[in-house]
Amino acid sequence: MEGPKVIFVSAEATPFIKVGGLADVAGSLPRALRRQGVDVRLILPRYATVSPRQFGLERLAAIPVPVGTGETRVHLLGGEVEGLPVYMIWDDQYFSAREKVYGFNDDAQRFAFFARAVIAALDYLPWKPDLIHANDWHAAPIVAWLRYYGRRGDDFFARVASLFTIHNIAYQGLCGRLILTFARMQELPHLEVEPPGQVNWMAQGIANADIVNTVSPTYAREILEPEAGAGLHTLLRRRHEEGSLYGILNGLDTELWNPATDSALPQTFDLHSRHLRRVNKAALQREIGLPVRDNVPLLGTVTRLDALKGLDILLPALERLLAEGEGQFVILGTGQPDYEAQLRALQERFPQQVRALIKFDERMARRIYGAVDLFLMPSRFEPCGLGQMIAMRYGALPLVRATGGLADTVIDADASPEKGTGFVFRPYTPEALLDALQRALRAYAARERWDTLQVRAMERDFSWARSARAYADLYEQTLHLVGKGG
């Protein structure tokens, strides 16, 4: 390959392990970049649920990782998975014995360890990257190390560029400064935005990468303000003023997400056979035990149950809508126990209209995308959001709040009758959401209009090609900064 060599560092990636959108991006962007001639390789931890053999990954080497006062040995695994060279760090303590990706007390230590292991692996590998593409706070220690250690002491690392991508600014990896002893980075300067005695890895990634980007143009602007910036807006403004902060909309893997070939769907369909969706709607209603009715609007969402996802306005808005006897609602999600309980209570109050499926289930997610009429994403913040793009491709109209990537991908059908692809509201209130829901239901009742909107939504092109080109350009620009541009 002619293009630059890039190591793509992520805590999660499909098809290995997925918690949210980061996994979708890490699974598909590197492949799209390879199609453009960029030699991207992926590196991630090996978790307990991932079978190296299943993916044909082999042990390449045992590598010593310098942490604390000693060294810990890990195995470096490698192989090619669906055309993408992949490396995994197999350790005994922090990842390989754990089934979850996040949510442990020692997460900061786990990912500091991962970062040190990636650095050790790069030193060891015969393939040498020109650029490290670090994603979210889990990979940020690499970027900080590169600036304050790697570039000072080593010929190879002195010429490696770094790009840091913010997938969600809300998760920052805040921890005590003792972590720096463990990570052997005691000299890392304390940042103004960090509380005394603490390290904020997200902030360290933003402050120390050559270039920073996030996953939609609107989110790149929003995080310059205090509310969306989650404490880091002053730092982000500095990077923005230097011309080092970008927004590139995520794409969608249109092979993985294709209603014409999706084996999870009872009935596959495409734009021209979209009327067949009703088979999926009936099948879903039957499967989850809701009355099988074609002409009742079926609302749905697939989401992590997190405050950022807008559940605080969704629950009261739905209560009011459902109390009027309108529509059915299905939600698939896991997360905060209080939301899980509230959703179960909603189902109990409206047993003929609501199903709360509290689990992570990729197959069910696909059946929901392929069956519901309206897909709800009333997020408080949404860096990019994949659900609305998948929904459109699967012929479900999105109803979204105008924030982040949702604002960049959905056009309101009432505000732009000629271009609309869904429904958009702005104030973060149950009333504004309810108003949008009622507008959507009016459109649903006018079948021809709904069909026109559905065609437009399904015709939208969200494939990765355009975004991958933008990333390839950003890589070039980043490489120029270390004197390596093509």
> Quick check: bond before 129 cis, omega within 30?
no
Residue 333 binds to ligand ADP (criterion: CB under 6 A): yes
Q: Please choose, out of 77-85, 300-308, 342-350, 457-465, the segment that lies near ligand ADP by the rule CB under 6 A.
A: 300-308
Of 52 and 310, CB closest to ligand ADP: 310
Residue 63 binds to ligand ADP (criterion: CB under 6 A): no
CA-closest candidate to residue 72, choices 110, 41, 17: 110
Residue 149 binds to ligand ADP (criterion: CB under 6 A): no
Residue 217 binds to ligand ADP (criterion: CB under 6 A): no
Residue 378 binds to ligand ADP (criterion: CB under 6 A): no
Q: Please choose, out of 70-78, 280-288, 326-334, 450-458, the segment that lies near ligand ADP by the rule CB under 6 A.
A: 326-334
Query: C-beta of 26: minimal distance to ligand ADP in Å?
Result: 11
Paired with 44 in beta bridges are 88
DSSP codes, 382-408: -SS-SHHHHHHHTTPEEEEESSHHHHH
Of 57 and 371, CB closest to ligand ADP: 371
Among 4, 6, 11, 21, interactor with ligand ADP by CB under 6 A: 21
The CB-nearest residue to ligand ADP is 21
Residues 329 and 317: their CA atoms lie apart, in Å, by 12
DSSP 190: P
Residue 302 binds to ligand ADP (criterion: CB under 6 A): yes
Of 165 and 303, CB closest to ligand ADP: 303
CA–CA distances in Å: residue 125 to residues 128, 154, 438:
7, 15, 58
Residue 255 binds to ligand ADP (criterion: CB under 6 A): no
Strand 211-214 and strand 161-166: pairing?
Answer: parallel
Residue 254 binds to ligand ADP (criterion: CB under 6 A): no
User: Cβ of 239: how many Cβ atoms within 10 Å?
Assistant: 19
Of 303 and 467, CB closest to ligand ADP: 303
Q: Residues 211, 46, 15, 336: is their CA dihedral positive or negative?
A: negative
Report how far Cα 133 is from the mean position of its chain's Cα atoms: 15
Q: Please choose, out of 107-115, 278-286, 302-310, 341-349, the segment that lies near ligand ADP by the rule CB under 6 A.
A: 302-310
Query: C-beta of 456: minimal distance to ligand ADP in Å?
Result: 21
Paired with 87 in beta bridges are 43, 78
Residues 444 and 453: their CA atoms lie apart, in Å, by 10
Residue 387 binds to ligand ADP (criterion: CB under 6 A): yes
Among 55, 102, 360, 428, interactor with ligand ADP by CB under 6 A: 360
Contacts of ligand ADP in 170-199 (CB under 6 A): none
Q: Give the burial class of 240: count Cβ atoms within 10 A of its Cβ; 0-12 exposed, 13-18 middle, 19 or more buried.
A: middle
Residues 72 and 424: their CA atoms lie apart, in Å, by 51
Q: Please choose, out of 16-24, 92-100, 147-155, 233-241, the segment that lies near ligand ADP by the rule CB under 6 A.
A: 16-24
CB 129 within 8 A of CB 160: yes
Residues of the shown chain interacting with ligand ADP in the complex, contacts defined by CB under 6 A: 20-22, 24, 302-304, 332-334, 360-362, 365, 384-387
